Amino acid sequence: MLSSEKIARINALAKKAKMEGLTAEEKQEQLQLRTEYIAAFRASMIETLHHVKVIDPNGNDVTPKN
């Protein structure tokens, strides 16, 4: 996952965007940070889903093999 400093910066830029707007450089930084955050989130979610075990109502393991 992203460092707490990067998440804090994402939040600071979002707050500034609402209050007064962002410069072109800040918009670019915000886009880059958001892209990085989404990539980290997706990787974490995929890793979590790879560890999920699916059991049908009869108690059989029906986890897809991937």
23-66: pLDDT as tens digits: 999 999 999 999 999 999 999 999 999 999 999 999 999 998 86
Give the pLDDT of residue 23.
97
Is pLDDT above 80 for 10? Answer: yes
**Look-up: residue for tokens 């980290």?**
40
Q: In the prediction, which pLDDT does 1 show?
A: 78
| pLDDT score at 65 | 84
Contact by Cβ (8 Å): 53, 63: yes
Phi, psi of 19 (to 5 degrees): -80, -50
pTM beyond 0.85 = no
Query: Is 1.10.3190.10 the CATH number for 4-50?
Result: no
